[in-house]
Structure 1
Amino acid sequence: MQDATIQEEMTFESDAASQLLGKQLPSFTATATNNFDIDFTRLQGYQTVVFFYPQSGLPGVTQIAKDFAEHYASFKQIKTCVFGVSLESLETSQAFKDQLELPFQLIADTDSELAQWFNTLTERTIFGDPIKTLEQSTFLINAEGVISDVWRNPEVRGHVEDVIEAAHRLSEGLSDDTSAPVTTAEDIEADKPVLEESEAHTELKADLADLFEA
């Protein structure tokens, strides 16, 4: 009976993920660390990775955040923003960012607006009380603001590398069954400029320069 329940939950999660693929991201403005207000509509023209996590400090959460930080230069190289999202307060999010010295911003989704739209909001029972939490999930959004890839409850090991590969494929316009040359953090010179000059992105670039270097 328990196996059947688990299978039903997995099927539901898979269906939920499929329903988001190809959907246009609505207009969201979210409060983030380092006093940033993230306006998702202004990120169009750049790819975006959004990873949801249930609680800062958990071993798996910490490792994934560290992996995103370690490979952050790879995302910058292909003009891809990275954000972490939790239901925790801005103060808690800032402390987690500072503790791990994360080079990207963490969004404090205290009203669960993002979590509800991305269908990552779930409930766990702790000491008999239902507690709102988030399902560990990662989303890749293309330059037009459309959901391109979804990872639900990913394995920690190798997850960020999978996201990098998908982001490379997306930036090169390749299909899922085509291998993309993946540039890792070790391949990128520390002082190499990563934001391409573009008249269409002049105003946006100023905003993202701050985000990328925060």
Structure 2
Amino acid sequence: MTLVEGQKVPDFSLVNDKGEYVQLADFRGKNVILYFYPKDMTPGCTTEACDFRDKHEDFSQLNAVILGVSPDNVQKHTKFIDKHGLPFTLLVDEDHAVAEAYGVWVLKKMYGREYMGIERSTFLIDTDGNLIKAWRKVRVKNHIEEVYTYLANQEEHK
């Protein structure tokens, strides 16, 4: 499935870092920054999470919540949050069903080896559950600033 900007995104229900079920629809009325990342505690994923952490208050000012999604389990997410003081929710997608629904569970290649994994991606979803913008194959450097600037411009032109 290809997600198209302006269309509704697939709703889902996943367990959060506290072991509670969270549904995307729970966040209607807020802008949602839904970001998919490969693995807790790895260098790129840690940098990305900490960049979102550092910009968290600015995103809150734009009526936005941040949701991180990876195949890691509740315990790994809790450890990651505690270690880096992450003020936002991490969701468990162990069977990668949501990653597949968003088209980010892909064939990857590293050191001549092929495997299935998460393609680092960010989806900006509006207050009605529509896709505003998708960033795929994300490079972490300056990415969070780019998301923030894009959302700030959207909010300014409402």
- TM-score norm. by structure 1 comes to 0.67
Separation in 2 of the partners of 1:100 and 1:77? 22
Per-residue CA distance 1:75-115 (angstroms, 9 max, x = gap): 11111010110011121122111111100011011121210
Is 1:45 the counterpart of 2:40? The answer is no
Which residues in structure 2 correspond to 1:123-138 (within 5 Å)?
Answer: 123-124=107-108, 131-138=115-122
Normalized per residue, which structure has more helix?
A: 1
Separation in 1 of the partners of 2:55 and 2:141? 14
- Alignment gaps of 5+ in structure 1: 1-16, 175-214
Which residues in structure 2 correspond to 1:1-214 (within 5 Å)?
Answer: 19-124=3-108, 131-173=115-157
Q: Report if aligned partners of 1:120, 1:135 keep a CA contact under 8 Å in 2.
A: yes
Q: Report if aligned partners of 1:20, 1:118 keep a CA contact under 8 Å in 2.
A: no
Aligned sequence identity (%): 27
Tell which structure's C-alpha radius of gyration is larger: 1
Separation in 1 of the partners of 2:121 and 2:92? 16
Normalized per residue, which structure has more strand?
A: 2
Separation in 2 of the partners of 1:93 and 1:23? 30
Q: What is the DSSP-based 3-state SS (H/G/I as helix, E as strand, rest coil) of the residue aligned with 2:140?
A: coil
Separation in 2 of the partners of 1:67 and 1:55? 16
CA shift in 2, pair 1:153/1:92, >3 Å = same
Q: Report if aligned partners of 2:2, 2:103 keep a CA contact under 8 Å in 1.
A: no
Q: What is the DSSP-based 3-state SS (H/G/I as helix, E as strand, rest coil) of the residue aligned with 2:9?
A: coil
Q: Post-superposition shift, 1:126? A: 7.2
Q: What is the DSSP-based 3-state SS (H/G/I as helix, E as strand, rest coil) of the residue aligned with 1:24?
A: coil
- TM-score norm. by structure 2 comes to 0.89
Q: Post-superposition shift, 1:171? A: 2.1
1:185: which partner in 2?
Answer: none
- Alignment gaps of 5+ in structure 2: none
**RMSD between aligned alpha carbons?**
2.2
Whose RCO is larger (CA < 8 A, sep 6+)? 2
After TM superposition, what 4+ stretches of structure 1 lie above 4 angstroms from structure 2? 125-130
Q: Report if aligned partners of 1:142, 1:170 keep a CA contact under 8 Å in 2.
A: no
Q: What count of residue pairs does the alignment treat as equivalent?
A: 158
